[in-house]
């Protein structure tokens, strides 16, 4: 069955339908990863977006039960060049086509995804539609369509839930978190509690955490203003670690600014330099916004990491409180794992804070 990818600038790309029937609209974004399509599709950071893969063959190892980053994928559609006809892997339980049908997500194949990617890189982020027919009003309707700004509310957990263990007590604020973050905490024996995005500082501190982690999530950080006062209060009480959207919210809470990138960073091969050591890590990234370096001048934040390709801010550290953040994903599923030691840095901050509190208690 024919299906069309239509961009708001009038570009039309014909292809073939797979996945769920129906039509949809969203911001078209591209991911440069050579693997990890299941992790990407189930990443809540793609909430409301049409996800296009630049790697030419997608779906070759199917879908399994182990690699989901969330229970319910929320991307609007999936765009590929070639859909694997015969996926094969010992862990496979479904094909990509079957999986998208179950979750009511349309797909389109037969698209020259690299040509579309070059177009987006030149024109910037564009609204797009997946339609079964193109008529005189298709492009006009797309141009007038307003995209939602409540992706975090759609992605976050509605109720707190625990991950019991015997180590540090960590509260994870869920702005659209990836399960791989929880796996990293579990590997370090953290006793974590995941709470909704609109949790207050009082609610979080009443859980008596050793540290607080601000998760990744979708959309514009300025659409989540209710989190800023919570962050300003929490960072003064316990160690804090922000990842991706959590990094941007950490910056906004401390007086910095954010801006929309021309076409974002989405893939598993982004080189990032640690400014203190000079070491370079290849990182997993998925974001359309960044922290303004110029806006940091009047804040208590210093830059710790930067993207080598475009020098965007990739890491921040508070100069007064035990709080830091990174724009990339140190949890990195399916990889790379170059930056996983940042979770150990978070553990060390919690250790140091506990020792200082113990010393303070014995002093008095």
Binding residues for L-glutamine: 45, 217, 219, 245, 248, 286, 288-289
Separation CA 289–CA 248 (nearest Å): 8
8 A C-beta contact, residue 62 and residue 87: yes
Which whole-number Å values give the CA distances from 212 to 12, 69, 215, 334, in the listed order?
46, 20, 10, 24
**Which residues are the active-site residues?**
244, 329, 331
Separation CA 273–CA 71 (nearest Å): 33
- With CA atoms as reference, report the closest residue to 82 among 115, 112, 127: 112
8 A C-beta contact, residue 173 and residue 214: yes
- DSSP class of 351: H
Separation CA 74–CA 50 (nearest Å): 10
Separation CA 80–CA 57 (nearest Å): 7
Separation CA 299–CA 254 (nearest Å): 6
**Contacts with 340 (C-beta within 8 Å, 6 or more apart), sequence order:** 184, 330, 331, 332
């Amino acid at each position: 069955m024919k299906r069309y990818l239509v961009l708001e600038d009038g570009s039309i790309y014909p292809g073939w339908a797979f996945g769920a029937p129906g039509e949809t609209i969203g911001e078209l974004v591209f991911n440069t990863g050579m693997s990890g399509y299941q992790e990407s599709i189930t990443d809540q950071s793609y909430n409301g977006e049409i996800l296009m893969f630049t790697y030419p063959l997608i779906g070759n190892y199917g879908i399994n039960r182990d690699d989901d980053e969330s229970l319910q994928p929320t991307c609007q559609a999936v765009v590929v060049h070639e859909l694997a006809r015969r996926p094969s892997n010992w862990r496979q339980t479904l094909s990509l086509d079957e999986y998208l049908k179950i979750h009511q997500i349309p797909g389109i194949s037969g698209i020259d995804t690299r040509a579309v990617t070059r177009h987006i890189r030149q024109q910037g982020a564009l609204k797009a539609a997946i339609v079964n027919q193109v008529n005189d009003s298709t492009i006009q309707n797309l141009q007038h369509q307003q995209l939602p700004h409540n992706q975090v509310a759609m992605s976050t957990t509605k109720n707190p839930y625990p991950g019991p263990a015997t180590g540090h007590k960590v509260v994870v604020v869920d702005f659209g978190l990836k399960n791989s973050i929880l796996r990293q905490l579990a590997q370090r024996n953290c006793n974590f509690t995941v709470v909704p995005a609109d949790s207050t500082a009082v609610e979080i501190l009443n859980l008596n955490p050793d540290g607080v982690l601000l998760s990744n999530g979708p959309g514009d950080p300025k659409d989540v203003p209710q989190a800023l006062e919570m962050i300003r209060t929490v960072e003064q009480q316990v160690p804090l670690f922000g990842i991706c959207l959590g990094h941007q919210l950490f910056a906004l809470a401390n007086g910095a600014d954010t801006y929309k990138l021309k076409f974002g960073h989405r893939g598993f091969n982004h080189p990032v330099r640690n400014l203190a050591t000079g070491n370079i890590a290849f990182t997993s990234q998925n974001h359309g916004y960044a922290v303004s370096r110029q806006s940091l001048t009047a804040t208590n934040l210093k830059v710790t990491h930067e993207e080598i390709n475009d020098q965007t801010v990739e890491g921040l550290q508070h100069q007064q409180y035990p709080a830091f953040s990174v724009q990339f994903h140190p949890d990195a599923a399916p990889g790379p794992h170059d930056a996983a030691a940042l979770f150990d840095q978070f553990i060390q901050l919690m250790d140091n804070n506990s020792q200082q509190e113990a010393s303070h208690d014995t002093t008095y």
